[in-house]
Amino acid sequence: MPEQKPFLITTPIYYVNGRPHIGHAYTTVAADCIARYQKLLGRQVFFSTGTDEHGIKIQKKAEEEGKEPQAFVDEMAQAFRDLWDKLEIDYTRFIRTTESAHIAAVERVLQDLYDRGIIYQGTYEGLYCTGCEQFKTEDDLVDGKCPDHDRAPEPMKEESYLMKMTVIQQELQARIERDELCVTPEKYKAEILSFLGSETLEDVSISRKNVKWGIPLPFDPSHTTYVWIDAFLNYLTVLGWDGNRENVPEEWPADVHLIGKDILRVHATIWPALLMHLGLPTQKKLLVNGFILSGGRKMSKTLGNAISVEEVLERFGTDGTRYLLMSAGNFGDDVDLTMERMTETYNAHLANGIGNLVSRVVKLSEKLAAPFLPQKLEGFDPEFAELLDGQKLSDALQHIWARIAAANKYIDDEKPWELAKTDQGRFESVIQKLLTDIAVIAYALQPFLPATSEKIEKALREGKTEPLFQRI
């Protein structure tokens, strides 16, 4: 049987025109949970994240702040690294698109595609949204405006280099239909297939002439690389790829690309088209998440409903924040967060749920005739494993929560504090069962709440515990 390739999971590389926000945290924690689970299964895992650092928006933002673009992106990239440290994101490599090795690989790819006639000089005309750094069709707009940025795109016509797209449309559509390129949840597969079935993919602009902050085209330095082409190649260069299509990294193709729904179309068209032109396998799965809302509306400083990830971390701690993000709703749906609702969930599930359970049972275990010796657990129960295999993170946490609730109910029903006085044998049996249940819960929590899982395992070994989560 051939050796299994390493499991490759990626977040998008985040655009550094602003500081990291709660949406970035949501996607990255999700990737971390999936990566940790795969490691527990014994897989070799490569988990990549990083920052997208070129383009007109960054050039303008640096100018506004009176900084050189490189100094500006250095500062922003560090802000992302710092946040991932606080959230205990255990990534393999953090890539930046300003790295010299990445730039060299991008230049090599561009030259290769140009030499083979896949990239050619032409003129591009369309409606350009500077917020998305994408050209839009009329169908993309709502009342003539970009729905994500609430402003009308600008008509633009300029000399450009284009990459052929129409020639790969039929094959791309077939790959998505047969799940060779799996787009999930299903509604996003339907959305992209509807688009491909009703629109002809136009050859896409891959360069800009009036943007200095980017990678110059090796065959025409008066143009810089369009930011999407540069950014997509990170998924390969993060693996040490040098841009030579003969040298496919052992980790490729990616098992899971996590993306937000706002970048689905480019990840399901331009990116696989680029891979197909290079003769490389397309990514296996696009796992698409929705938007983070607050009170039913997109978070906005103007509306006053924005919640900063730093504020959530300060209030609920690292594992509390990880739990609240991952339990907020099914992956793919828009997730609605408010501080009030998060506080209620934190108290119910963490302080009064797992925290109370561990505290009560470990305290009662002091009355056991012999210390509890937890067995080393191997593997997860099938239902839980199936949920995590399908990246259904919120459902997996609900599965754990049901176990916690059942254990707390078992305590209330059995009243072991009374059994300790009247029936030592039954008391011993009840407490041993509860301690075993807690060991299983701690094992299942490892991908989600690594520090809490470790604290619970230590409490079971030593027979004493500190409060896991203080009630707010």
Query: Measured between alpha carbons, how far is 263 from 133 in angstroms, rounded to an integer?
Result: 11
Active site residue 298: yes
Instruction: Output the CA angle 390-391-393, nearest 5 degrees.
Output: 130
Catalytic residue among 33, 54, 102, 129: 129
Per-residue model confidence as pLDDT tens digits over 360-412: 999 999 988 888 877 777 789 999 999 999 999 999 999 999 999 999 999 99
Active site residue 24: yes
CATH number for the segment(s) 7-290: 3.40.50.620
Catalytic residue among 298, 367, 392, 433: 298
pTM (global) more than 0.75: yes
33 and 393 Cβ atoms separated by less than 8 Å: yes
> Which pLDDT score, from 0 to 100, does residue 4 have?
87
Query: Measured between alpha carbons, how far is 58 from 50 in angstroms, rounded to an integer?
Result: 16
Per-residue model confidence as pLDDT tens digits over 81-117: 999 999 999 999 999 999 999 999 999 999 999 999 9
Active site residue 129: yes
Domain 339-462 homologous superfamily, CATH: Isoleucyl-tRNA Synthetase; Domain 1 (1.10.730.10)
Alpha-carbon torsion, ordered 72, 78, 83, 85, to 10 deg: 180
Using CB atoms within 10 Å of the CB of residue 379, give its burial: 0 to 12 exposed, 13 to 18 middle, 19+ buried.
Answer: exposed
If phi > 0 it is left, if psi is from -120 to 50 it is alpha, else beta; for residue 360 that is: alpha
Query: Measured between alpha carbons, how far is 53 from 96 in angstroms, rounded to an integer?
Result: 7
- Please give the single-letter amino acid code of residue 385: A
Instruction: Output the CA angle 165-170-175, nearest 5 degrees.
Output: 105
Which residues partner with 96 through β-bridges?
A: 51
Please state the domain extents for the chain: 7-290, 339-462
Catalytic residue among 24, 54, 102, 189: 24
Active site residue 223: no
Catalytic residue among 33, 57, 61, 132: 132
Active site residue 33: no
Per-residue model confidence as pLDDT tens digits over 55-87: 989 999 999 999 999 999 999 999 999 999 999
DSSP 162: E
Phi first, then psi: give them for residue 222, nearest 5 degrees.
-75, -10
Query: Measured between alpha carbons, how far is 28 from 90 in angstroms, rounded to an integer?
Result: 10
350 and 400 Cβ atoms separated by less than 8 Å: no
Per-residue model confidence as pLDDT tens digits over 15-24: 999 899 999 9
Per-residue model confidence as pLDDT tens digits over 117-159: 999 999 877 777 766 666 676 667 777 787 766 778 887 778 8
Active site residue 149: yes
Catalytic residue among 61, 146, 267, 285: 146
Catalytic residue among 5, 21, 86, 367: 21
